[in-house]
Structure 1
Amino acid sequence: MDVLYEDERIIVVDKPHFLATMPRGMWYRQTALIRLRERLGEPDITPAHRLDRMTAGVLVFVRDPACRGAYQMLFQNRQAVKIYECLAPCRPISCPRFGTIIQVEPPRPFPLLRRSHIVKERGVLAAFETPGLVNAETLIERGDLILPPTDGKWRAESESGFLSPESGPYSPKVGSRSEGQLIYRYTLHPRTGRTHQLRVHMNALGLPIVGDDFYPCIQARRYDDFSQPLQLVARVLRFTDPVTGQEREFVSRQPLLI
């Protein structure tokens, strides 16, 4: 768990997949909070917000108890800008059962604004959408098309051509591409913060995030099975520091893998 930034008030870490933010259920020692407290010997460290155990990315902790409320309210009042990245299928958008889809730049399918009412009941693993007043909004952008490997390396196809981040231009004549193998990189801008919001919204569009073991259906996995991480990363976090007034921006280096 790399530290992206720290001062006398906050510590910003780059949380990996499969690491819970706080102790819950069987997870105590193997959580970001306990690891950080033990590593630094600071028992007063507290998270300013949370990420799901399956979601990687930028996570802020408060080390000064006097500043705890200021940073936590920053997130509770939705004053922080969060940008996520995920991998999901390349397929036509499905019409969700509840909520709405608004095309931001019609007739282009993306970007789109997904709005719905999400409910998460205590004791139930998955959240779900129901009729009702909108309490969840996500702006979704579609990025590069990810091509299946021909030599052990996955590559991204952008609008300007076939690109390989590791080895330069890619020739589409090499290998074959079937629809079942193709995925896109999506950028997600949550405007609200409901539990599992991004996962629920992507699944409702018929685009479940790669590696999601809750949506569209719950898959039983061993607690120590780390072979299929959820391909969702809290990539960028921006906010105005409530104590100093400085503009902060932190970027996760956690990779999206196939």
Structure 2
Amino acid sequence: MASPLPVRDGVGATRLHLPLTGPWPTVGAYMAERFFHLDPERLLTRFDRGEIVARDGSALDRETPLGVHEFVWYYREPPIEREIPFEIEVLHQDADLVVADKPHFLPTTPGGKYLQNSALVRLRRLLDLPDLTPIHRLDRATAGLLMFSVRPQTRGAYQLLFERRQVEKVYEAVSALPEGWDAASPALAGHPFPVVFRNHIEKLRAHVCVRADAEREPNSETLIELIHADDRVLHTRLRPHSGRMHQLRVHLAALGAGILNDGFYPVLLPEAPDDFDRPLQLLARELRFVDPLSGAPREFVTRRTLQEAPSR
């Protein structure tokens, strides 16, 4: 559903689905209850300024009855953001595709306390491409390759590549050396390399971590290869066959090789400010696929490295 409001300063308008019936006499009354953490008069003043609009772009006022409109659009008021002091790099750009190298700590899209400090908004502003849209996502903590669609007309062709698992994705990770590590016979949890690990991963509503269930039918799979190990850390190459939330972090943690500086797995740590000196040691390294428009093979490789990777 196209927004009636243009992208502004790299940020698209937010769409809100309204109930058509309920105990609220007006759209403003519903939104004041929905966003109870905001000052209600400040919210209603946004109606007075014409900042809440319908699908045709017409402004609602604070007395607009509930049930007249099913959707409204508005710009989020910018949060006070902590600057993410790392730059995103463009590795490739053509008429349909942008491939960027994302730093650690930068979210893929705006959300929560991050708006301008997101890969999408930074790239829209840098490249002056208001229709730019991510084709897939990386966790905020993960660095590496991200693909973006430039034009809505060709976006679906690239999205289908990911839906059909026709993109080869390769990651790297660095973990603390697992307990009982035997350099003469390298293995994870008794599984010699290369390790194919499968389990069932479920995203729970209102939980920041996913749940792994060994009793249910697996819905995730990762091939784990050994790159190098020293007396301190383990460096692995990861080839996910599926794309479940936090999959690589969960799989390595389940095998006793949780990724260095992971505050979620195997143990959820208390929330704390970002420590820019201790990024999660996970990197989206390579992307390979056959371009759906030209039929030509495509390959992209990050220029980033993991700071804790052992020298060889």
- Give the alignment's TM-score, normalised by structure 2: 0.65
1:216 is aligned to 266
Q: What is the aligned counterpart of 2:299 among 246, 249, 254?
A: 249
**Equivalent in 217, 222, 226 of residue 133 of structure 1:** 217
How far apart, in 2, do the equivalents of 1:206 and 1:91 lie?
6
Give 2:207's match in structure 1, choosing from 113, 116, 124. Answer: 124
Secondary structure of 1:250's aligned partner: strand
Match in the other structure for 2:289:
239
Distance in 1 separating the partners of 2:113 and 2:178: 37
Query: Residue 51 of structure 1 aligns with which residue?
Result: 138
Report deviation, 1:146: 3.7
- How far residue 92 of structure 1 moved from its aligned partner, in angstroms, is 4.8
**What root-mean-square deviation, in Å, do the aligned CA atoms of Structure 1 and Structure 2 show?**
2.0
Instruction: Compute the displacement of 1:220 (Å).
Output: 2.7
Q: Share of identical aligned residues, percent?
A: 46
Shift of 1:90: 1.9
Length-normalised TM-score, structure 1: 0.79
**Cα distance change of structure 1 residues 224 and 209 upon mapping to structure 2, 3 Å threshold:** closer
Aligned to 1:194: 244
Distance 2:208 2:173 in 1: 21
In the TM superposition, residue 219 of structure 1 has moved relative to its aligned partner by 1.8
Note the C-alpha offset of 1:221: 4.3
| Aligned with 1:89 (options 166, 170, 176) | 176
Letter aligned with residue 118 of structure 2: T
Shift of 1:93: 7.7
Contact map agreement 1:48 1:62 (CA 8 A) in 2: yes
Q: Which has the larger radius of gyration?
A: 2
> Structure 1 CA distance, aligned partners of 2:129 and 2:223?
38
Q: Distance in 2 between matches of 1:93 and 1:238?
A: 36
Is 1:113–2:196 an aligned residue pair? yes
- Higher strand content, 1 or 2: 1
Which one of the candidate residues 143, 164, 177 is aligned to 2:227?
143
Deviations 1:15-49 (A, max 9, x none): 11001001111111100000011112211000010
What secondary structure, in the 3-state scheme, does the structure 1 residue paired with 2:229 have?
strand
State the distance in 2 between where 1:136 and 1:224 align.
Answer: 29
**2:203 is aligned with what amino acid?**
K
Shift in CA distance, 93/22, structure 1 to aligned 2, threshold 3 Å: farther
Structure-2 separation of matches of 1:4 and 1:13: 5
Alignment of 1:69-80 (within 5 A): 69-80=156-167
In 2, are the aligned partners of 1:143 and 1:185 still within 8 Å (CA)? Answer: yes
Tell me the distance in 2 between the aligned counterparts of 1:57 and 1:245. Answer: 25
Q: For residues 18 and 121 of structure 1, what CA distance do their matches in structure 2 show?
A: 23
After superposition, the Cα gap between the structure-2 partners of 1:249 and 1:93, relative to the gap in structure 1 and judged at 3 Å, is farther
